[in-house]
Amino acid sequence: MLFHVEMTVKLPPSMPAEQASEIKAKEKAYAQELQRQGKWRHLWRVAGSYANVSLFDVQDNAELQDLISNLPLFPYMEISVKPLCRHPSSIREDDS
């Protein structure tokens, strides 16, 4: 199943810079591993903000919930999820 996921990160201003850097490094490693596995299919930065738009390709809602809730930055995120399905006019065979 494909999901359109929007994530906005809101770190507390009082968080020490060293702690924020450590969480961001863990987040990057986890996100890159999910991309290598093909589960996090696309990842785009939203220009001018600490946010992204992503496409996940996972088995079901439960797997998406598991992956997202394990993001190191998850406690500091506002997340919006929209399930997607193949458009009948699409010419791509690999977008299901």
pLDDT given for residue 95 in this prediction: 64
For the chain, the domain total comes to 1
Residue 51 confidence class, pLDDT cut points 50, 70, 90: very high
| Domain annotation covers residue 36 | yes
In 1-96, which ranges are continuous DSSP H helix?
17-36, 61-69
| Domain annotation covers residue 78 | yes
The pair of three-digit structure tokens given for residue 24, joined into one six-digit string: 């961001």
| Domain annotation covers residue 79 | yes
Q: Mean of the pLDDT values across residues 44-65?
A: 97
Backbone angles phi, psi at 8, to 5 degrees: -120, 125
Which tens digits make up the pLDDT trace of 76-90?
999 999 999 888 898
| Domain annotation covers residue 55 | yes
| Domain annotation covers residue 63 | yes
| Domain annotation covers residue 95 | no
Return the CATH number at 78.
3.30.70.1060
* Whole-number Cα distances in Å, 30 to 24, 68, 71, 84, 96: 10, 10, 7, 23, 24
| Domain annotation covers residue 94 | no
pLDDT given for residue 50 in this prediction: 97
Asked whether residue 14 carries a pLDDT value surpassing 80, the answer given is yes
Q: Which residue has the tokens 């359109």?
A: 4
Long-range contacts of 27-36 (CB under 8 A, 24+ apart): 27/71, 27/72, 27/73, 30/70, 30/71, 30/72, 31/71, 34/67
Whole domain around residue 59: which residue ranges? 2-84
Residue 46 confidence class, pLDDT cut points 50, 70, 90: very high
Alpha-carbon gap, residue 56 to 5, rounded angstroms: 7
